[in-house]
């Protein structure tokens, strides 16, 4: 019996071997891997969270990955942003990340965009992707990313870290509550990681959880954190899952929304 694959097979023989550990998983198999291969993901921020997320997505064979970040590598990044080293100081993060990731898996199509996601470009950046990952480090951008994803109906995996704590959620409005349902009023701004402090390995833990959510959502449309938030405290190694509630008066996804374009403002009173 011939072992050759047909020309129109979704996975090549090399891919079948490379991703064998995925193919052997129940409810994943070649179909799930083929969906990863065809998927397009936007990664907002290639920092402490974005680095491990990007590595796992590329290793897993996600076919198209857009890296979005306008920062350059600084010495204070090196404690937790594991795609970068001493020789990369001063270089654009997306350029270095693209080089490292391409060396990991040359079959993944990488697009490096050295720009910042803001209200005016958010919808254009999000549109055309199957999923967005938010690894940014400020609340203003989180609101904008959330708005753009909800308005474009693109699932959003969101994560954050602070000192010894992290959180991860999947927002898929209107199927789930959105980020504004959880934080209708912006929390107090957090100081940068190098000022407030953050355990370096925490970025890897949270980033791995984020990547897991992305892969499961893309491969078979399920997520353990859809409409839920995972809270992580590494001082006690406690993982707690919290159910999220949709707000009927949410400015974005509520019964009478007032937000129709992305905005960095938390409690928005824009005219309809």
Question: What backbone phi and psi angles, to 5 degrees, belong to 258?
Answer: -110, -10
The rounded distance, in Å, linking the Cα atoms of 109 and 27 is: 26
| Whether 187 contacts 1, CB under 8 Å | no
**CATH fold for domain 39-243:** Rossmann fold (3.40.50)
| pLDDT bracket for residue 195 (50, 70, 90) | confident
What pLDDT is attached to residue 268? 44
Q: What percent of the chain has pLDDT over 90?
A: 87
Answer whether residue 271 shows pLDDT above 60.
Answer: no
Mean pLDDT, to the nearest integer, of 86-99?
Answer: 98
Top pLDDT among 200 and 223 is at 200
What pLDDT is attached to residue 246? 95
What pLDDT is attached to residue 266? 75
Answer whether residue 11 shows pLDDT above 80.
Answer: yes
pLDDT tens column, 205-245: 999 999 999 999 999 998 899 999 999 999 999 999 999 99
What pLDDT is attached to residue 7? 47
pLDDT tens column, 115-130: 999 999 999 999 999 9
What pLDDT is attached to residue 40? 98
Taken as a whole, the chain contains a residue count of: 272
Strand ranges of the sheet holding 156-162, from the earlier edge strand across to the other edge? 109-113, 64-68, 40-44, 131-134, 156-162, 165-171, 228-233, 238-243
Answer whether residue 5 shows pLDDT above 50.
Answer: no
Model pTM score: 0.93
Answer whether residue 259 shows pLDDT above 80.
Answer: yes
Instruction: Give the domain ranges of the chain.
Output: 39-243
Mean pLDDT, to the nearest integer, of 32-38?
Answer: 98
Answer whether residue 98 shows pLDDT above 60.
Answer: yes
| pLDDT bracket for residue 152 (50, 70, 90) | very high
Mean pLDDT, to the nearest integer, of 147-151?
Answer: 98
What pLDDT is attached to residue 193? 63
């Amino acid at each position: 019996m011939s072992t050759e694959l047909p020309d129109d097979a979704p996975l090549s023989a090399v891919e079948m071997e490379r991703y064998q550990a995925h193919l052997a998983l129940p409810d994943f198999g070649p179909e799930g891997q083929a969906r990863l291969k065809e998927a397009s993901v936007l990664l907002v921020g290639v920092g402490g969270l974005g680095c491990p997320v990007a590595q796992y997505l590329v290793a897993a064979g996600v076919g198209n990955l857009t890296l979005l970040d306008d920062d350059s590598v600084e010495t204070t990044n090196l404690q937790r942003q594991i795609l970068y080293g001493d020789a990369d100081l001063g270089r654009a993060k997306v350029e270095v990340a693209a080089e490292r990731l391409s060396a990991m898996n040359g079959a993944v199509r990488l697009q490096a965009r050295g720009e910042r996601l803001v209200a005016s470009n958010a919808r254009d950046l999000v549109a055309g992707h199957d999923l967005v990952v938010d690894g940014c480090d400020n609340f203003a951008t989180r609101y904008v990313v959330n708005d753009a994803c909800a308005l474009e109906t693109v699932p959003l995996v969101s994560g954050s870290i602070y000192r010894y704590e992290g959180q991860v959620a999947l927002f898929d409005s209107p199927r789930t509550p959105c980020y504004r349902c959880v934080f209708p009023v912006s929390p107090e701004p957090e100081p940068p990681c190098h000022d407030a402090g953050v355990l370096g390995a925490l970025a890897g833990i949270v980033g791995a959880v984020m990547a897991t959510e992305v892969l499961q959502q893309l491969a078979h449309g399920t997520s353990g954190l859809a409409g839920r938030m995972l809270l992580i405290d590494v001082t006690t190694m406690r993982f707690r899952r919290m159910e999220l509630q949709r707000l009927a008066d949410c400015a974005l996804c509520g019964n009478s929304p007032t937000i129709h374009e992305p905005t960095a403002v938390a409690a928005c009173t824009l005219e309809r």
